[in-house]
Structure 1
Amino acid sequence: MFVRAVGEGGHAFAEVKDSIKPGADSVSSVVEPVRKTRNPLKWIGRYLSNTNKHEDRPFDFSMLIGPSYSAATSVGLGATASGLYSWDRSDPLLPKSNVSVYANASLSGMLAVGLRGNNFLPHQRYRFDYQLSFYTFPGKFWGIGYENGASDANKSDYERVKLQFKPSFLFRLNESVFLGPVVDVEWVNSFGFENETLLEGQDKSVANYGAGFNFTYDTRDFVLNAYRGNFFRWEQMFYPSGFGNDYAFSYTDLTYSTYHQVWKGGVLAMELHTLFNYGDVPWTMMAQVGVLGRMRGYYEGRYRDRNIMEGQLELRQHIKGRNGIAVWVGLANVFPNFGHIYYDEMLPNYGIGYRWEFKKRVNIRFDLGFTKDSPNFTFNINEAF
């Protein structure tokens, strides 16, 4: 005889089997619990399906682990975590603060960990931004200047270890304007150069300690993925001699971006960026093509010089549910001074990408960028700009 016990919700929780042995009056009962097996693929699916549905949490935090790839680091395994929170939940007009944590390891030998975030303090009186990163990996170096970067014969190997910490604390001057100090600590240890002559006599390892200010005008509706608004930043940094710096120099970094909704689900974004260096600039701090989401597809640092001017125009289109696409075009030019800006040294860029909404207004992006040299694929979190 079999008896099935049914629990709340109609789920079986035990089975009783009664058996009568020949020649015996006793009845033995054996209780066998039913074990539920968990399917890890279903658990992952449920987790990912809900990462963008917890806006009401005091700290909306989610994590994603998966493959990664870039031209500079090759195939690897990465983990990224993103958190959204408010310093004053009673103020619905206070922008959400954010934090991103990432770690990555690749087949090339690259290992990177980092932390970055933007904090909007109560009443938006202050804004605290920061980035902390450490990485080590075997890289490629072509030298300084456009001509060196354009020559495949200059491609050489080297090893690099880099540590950087860069916080800024901004005071709100009015509704959209912020001004405040910036500190930068950067240490680069490079070794194993295949062709040291490309350094043009500069040190392989460089330490930089700098301070300056950040002036920001920001009307974006959301920092990580703006649908509308404008953003302007002027960052002025100084690295004087006598403060442990190997090189004395300064730079002016200007960024302007604007965002417009052109139709349902469509956002047109544009960014213009310039970086001008003055003084004795080390090779590690020169303007480089292919960094910070700009000129996607270029090998980071292949083209570098004292100065850069670059821009990109991108159309972002929501498709359905959590899916979207993006297409962009861009141009860049690296040059030693304003007397050496040439049309035939312009670096073109265009590409297409897929967007998946990891959290509300926080996208995972897969971009295929086409360049002057060769196309390359990149995988990252948050929009490029």
Structure 2
Amino acid sequence: MNKIFFGTILLLLCSFCAPAQTKPDDSTKTSKRHTKKIDFNVMPYINYNRTLDFMFGAIPMMMYKVNKADTISPKSLSGISAIYTTNKSYFIATFNKWYFNEDKWRAQVFLATGNQNAQYFVDDIDVPDFYNYDTKTNIVNFSLQRKVIKALYAGIGYSYSHYDTKYQDDVQPASTTHTNGLQLIMLYDTRDAVYYPTKGDKIKLRWLTYPTWFGNDANANKILSEYDKYFPMRNGTDVLAARFSGKFGLGNIAFEQQVTIGNQDIRGYSEGKYRGDGLMDLQAEYRYNFSKKMGLVGFAGIATIYGSDTSSFNWKLYPGAGVGYRYRAFKTEKFNVGLDAAIGKGDWGLYFRIGEAF
């Protein structure tokens, strides 16, 4: 999912999700009950972010089996997100994760449109400071993976993005950028569950290329790597999760394609100050479940960036730490939503979570 959209989903949970409904089995006329084929919830939100100000929105989501006879595939997830902020930004997106054919195939589709009024730090002008920018965005992202051997998947993907960006006080000329990206994916997945793993490993490597022959203005490449590991604690009641992430931009990386420290890559940074062509981070999180429906998390990590327009930001260490609350959103599946609060180096942030941080 694209950073421009998901960097904005830092929202406060206003109400808990309703449990899936059940009904009598009319065919047997017994007292046995079964859950609906689709578990559906609508979550309203309100939050405050240092960049986007107050945010209001709603996210309806549903979980379901693509084939109800398939007992091996995890449940699929689909949802729509609509968010408006008091600094006049807005975002509308739909997200889908599909698992089918006994988990031999996995697919994801993400569509988004929005207008983001944000800021970034500029130091190579007479008055170094944060300057606002406005980006109108349209995004299409699709990927498909096939199991090759046990626990190993290979896949392809395609992404299209269109950006119209204007900068405050003309610190940079206005720009229109569109990108067409091709993606190769390798995934090694031994987790015991995709939405709330308690043990196992997830290793994901992606190569994204933006060649000129595919309609791009300049050649660029990205290598995205993730290694997540999970350890059961307290006889399997709790989880200790650890993560390494590396995002490496190569070639002519557009401003909108750059990465910033924050959100999934070290919580505690919401100003968008530390931006560059690449980023690496290490983090760990303890997930304490004090009931079947609720839990707490504590986390800490450290990150670094390179390729920043502010050279003094490159290869420095940026720590972040915080705590969070979790609530089980669906009755029939261990899938959490929640809120994290974190502090970083001269910064802080609130983060609404759909699923776990990693």
TM-score bracket, normalised by the shorter chain, equals: 0.7 to 0.9
Letter in 1 for 2:115: T
Within the alignment, does 1:134 sit opposite 2:107 as a pair? no
Q: 1:352, CA displacement in angstroms?
A: 0.5
Match of 2:301 in 1: 330
Q: Which residue of 2 aligns with 1:259?
A: 230
Equivalent pair of 2:274/2:313 in contact (CA under 8 Å): no
Which residue number corresponds to residue 117 of structure 1? 96
Does 2:184 match 1:184? no
CA distance in 1, matches of 2:49, 2:195: 21
Mark the CA change 1:89 to 1:76 in structure 2 (over 3 Å): closer, same or farther. same
The worse-fitting range, judged by mean Cα deviation, of 53-62 and 320-329 is: 53-62
2:258 corresponds in structure 1 to 286
Q: Is the 8 A contact 2:286 2:297 kept in 1?
A: yes
Residue correspondences, number:
328
Which residue pairs with 1:196 in the alignment? 171
Which of 203, 206, 213 matches 1:232? Answer: 203
In 1, are the aligned partners of 2:113 and 2:139 still within 8 Å (CA)? Answer: yes
> Is 2:316 the partner of 1:345?
yes
Residue 138 of structure 2 corresponds to which residue in structure 1? 163
Superposed displacement of residue 357, structure 1: 1.4
Q: CA deviation at 1:51?
A: 4.7
**Corresponding residue number in structure 2 for 1:32:** none
Indicate yes or no: 2:74 matched with 1:92.
Answer: no
Asked if structure 2 preserves the Cα contact closer than 8 Å seen for 1:71 and 1:378, the reply is: no
Deviation, structure 1 residue 294? 2.5
| Structure 1 CA distance for aligned equivalents of residues 221 and 35 of structure 2 | 44
SS for the counterpart of 1:331 is: strand
Q: 1:362 aligns with which of 328, 335, 338?
A: 335
Residue 156 of structure 1 contacts residue 195 of structure 1 at CA under 8 Å; is this kept in 2? no
After TM superposition, the structure 1 stretch with the greater mean CA deviation from structure 2, 373-382 or 106-115, is 373-382
How many Å apart are 1:217 and its aligned residue?
1.0
Q: TM-score, normalised by structure 2?
A: 0.84
CA contact (8 A) 1:216 1:232 kept: yes
* RMSD (Å), alpha carbons: 2.7
* Contact 1:247 1:282 (8 Å CA) reproduced: no
**C-alpha contact 2:301 2:319 (8 A) present in aligned 1:** yes
For residues 139 and 270 of structure 1, the distance between their equivalents in structure 2, rounded to whole angstroms, comes to 31
Q: Distance in 2 between matches of 1:286 and 1:76?
A: 24
1:171 alignment partner AA: R
Q: 1:71 to 1:341 in 2, by over 3 A?
A: closer
TM-score scaled by length of structure 1: 0.78
Identify unmatched segments of 5+ residues in structure 2: 1-13, 24-33
For residues 146 and 275 of structure 2, the distance between their equivalents in structure 1, rounded to whole angstroms, comes to: 33
| Corresponding residue number in structure 2 for 1:297 | 268
Return closer, same or farther for 1:52/1:246 CA change in 2, 3 Å cut-off: farther
What CA distance in whole angstroms lies between the structure 2 residues aligned with 1:300 and 1:162?
A: 20
User: Which residue of 50, 68, 78 corresponds with 2:19?
Assistant: 50
Residue equivalent to 2:48: 69
Which one has the bigger helix percentage? Answer: 1
| Cα distance, 1:243 vs structure 2 | 2.8
> Which residue in 1 is equivalent to 2:240?
268
Contact 1:69 1:379 in 2 (8 A): no
Deviations 1:110-133 (A, max 9, x none): 211112222111122221112222
- Give, in angstroms, the shift of residue 260 of structure 1: 1.5
Q: Does residue 189 of structure 2 align to residue 214 of structure 1?
A: no
Q: Report the AA paired with residue 96 of structure 1.
A: K
Q: State yes or no: 1:382 paired with 2:355.
A: yes
Of the two, which has the highest radius of gyration? 1
User: Which one of the candidate residues 82, 103, 108 is aligned to 2:82?
Assistant: 103
Q: Sequence identity of aligned pairs in percent?
A: 20
Q: Who is 1:11 aligned against?
A: none
Instruction: Quote the Cα distance in structure 1 between the aligned partners of 2:22 and 2:54.
Output: 31
C-alpha distance in structure 2 between counterparts of 1:172 and 1:164, whole Å: 27
SS at structure 1 position matched to 2:290? strand
1:384, 1:313 → 2: CA distance? 10
Q: Following the alignment from structure 1 to structure 2, what is the Cα–Cα distance between the partners of residues 206 and 49?
A: 42
Q: Which amino acid aligns with 1:374?
A: D
